[in-house]
Amino acid sequence: MDSLAARLNLGLALSLAMLISVAWALGHQALHRSTESYVISRLQHDAEALLGALRRNATGQPWLIDDSRMPIYHQPLSGHYFKLVTGEGDVIRSRSLWDWDLDMPSLRPGEIRQWITSGPLSQTVLVYSAGFQVDGKPLTLAMAEDLTPLLSSLRGFERLFTLLAVVGLVLMILIQHLVVRYNCRRLRPIYQDIEALERGAKRNITEDVPTEILPLVRKFNRLLSVYDKRLSRSRNAAGNLAHALKAPLNLMLLQLERPSLEAPSDEDRRICVEQVQRVRELVERELKRARIAGGGAPGSVFDPAAELPVLRDLLLRMYPDKDLALNCIIDPQAPLAADREDMLELFGTLLDNACKWSVQRVDCRLQQTTNGIQLRVDDDGPGCDTDAFAAIRKRGARLDERPQGHGLGLSIASEIVTLYGGQLTLERSDLLGGFCARVELPLFEQTVAECSLS
């Protein structure tokens, strides 16, 4: 069952059916107990009246006098019966018992019992029996009444209640179905925005949706933003690479088109070798970026405790000719709410720059701040002059048009930091004396929340 509406309707139907069943059972017990209590109270009153009319004659045998006050006990099989048994074994029965005998135990004075038994003509009889002491003599009196008329009325009421409950259940399920259909209309803007995304008319989905759907929409918009940023960076990287390859390729083409190509001079060969070597460096640089970024699910979070050790080992293998000490100190151990590929490219670019120009040591420290996280990368390389920092941070400059030095890959890092609303600071390292790149990003630990219907 994949339909949410069907699941809601089924859940409501089961809940209501259980509720109605419990209410019916409790109501059934309450009505029957109330009926029995009412009948018992009447039987107690009749027992007191009979005891008040009880007299002994000169021989000591008990008699009922003035029995005209309760004529219903004289009508055969009237549904109202009594039986009195004295301690000496004398028995007085109501005429209404006719030829039916009421079985009853002998009770001590003050002892009370009540039970339901089968009476004459298949009647359901409620019996109230109590022990008394009259004139110093013990006796047991049992009063009985037919419950059949009352039970018939109760069954009629229960059938009516069941019918109303079933009708109410059907109506409530129908109302629930209409309510679900009406509220599902609020999801139509999402469908319309998705169609607009397919046409390229919109770049995200509206957040004017029910509260239960809002976290899902925000996650989807965040994933769309990650794809958009990644596509933008890919286009910029492709443009930078094409622009960087254009100059050496044009120069080699000019050299190859010269008339003296059949007998190239040493200078011609040197120029061609330099340009081929430059093209090779550009290609290797892009391959290095791809190895650093690695693979991963789009939009997955970045776990520094798991990713940075792997990145560190990869960088050490990239520079086997250096006796390099790459130290990484990680303060936040929880995953960060940032795209994994973005963070790997940011961290990898800064660490690769530092490893390339360092002498022996590179320090990387990631710590949590009040506004997010701070990444600091220091190296013991030559660094650069203070006046060069402005040129390195200059936006819009092509990646491969920068002079050789620390500014080679910093435009990539600067672009990622800008996309996340952070800040990139370049300065001379006061720890190792070389270059220092400090990044501050407004990122917090990734938390997982469960959305429940309310």
* pLDDT single digits (tens) 72-85: 888 888 889 988 88
308 lies in the same domain as 435: yes
Q: Tens of pLDDT along 283-305?
A: 776 666 665 555 555 556 788 88
Element (H, E) at 124: strand 124-134
| Whether residue 407 is found in the same domain as residue 307 | yes
DSSP assigned state of 445: B
What is the pLDDT at residue 285?
A: 66
Tokens of 224: 């769309």
Report the DSSP beta bridge partners of residue 174. none
% the chain with pLDDT above 70: 80
pLDDT number for residue 345: 82
Lowest mean pLDDT among 317-321, 367-371, 405-409: 405-409
CA 79 to chain CA centroid, nearest Å: 63
The domain containing residue 225 runs over which residues? 218-240+296-441
Q: Which residues pair with 379 in a beta bridge?
A: 362
Residue 82 counted as domain residue = yes
Whether 328 is in a domain gets the answer yes
Least reliable range by pLDDT among 103-117, 170-184, 389-403: 389-403
- The pLDDT, as a whole number, for residue 1 is 54
The three-state secondary structure class of 126 is strand
Domain assignment of residue 269, yes or no:
no
- Residues belonging to the chain: 454
Q: Are residues 87 and 229 in the same domain?
A: no
Residue 283 C-beta-side C-alpha neighbours within 13 Å: 8
Report whether 442 contacts 372 (CB < 8 A): yes
147 falls within a domain: yes
* Domain shared by 346 and 228, yes or no: yes
- Whole-number Å distance between alpha carbons of 135 and 403: 128
Do the beta carbons of residue 272 and residue 258 sit within 8 Å?
no
pLDDT tens-digit map of 416-451: 888 788 889 888 888 888 899 999 988 754 443 333
Both 228 and 350 in one domain: the answer is: yes
Residue 35 sits in the same domain as residue 129: yes
CATH of the domain at 94: 3.30.450
Rounded to two decimals, what is the model's pTM?
0.48
CATH of the domain at 352: 3.30.565.10
**Are residues 334 and 234 part of one domain?**
yes
| Domains: count for the chain | 2
Q: Are 300 and 415 in a shared domain?
A: yes
CB contact set of 358 (below 8 Å; sequence gap of 6+): 322, 324, 379, 380, 381, 434
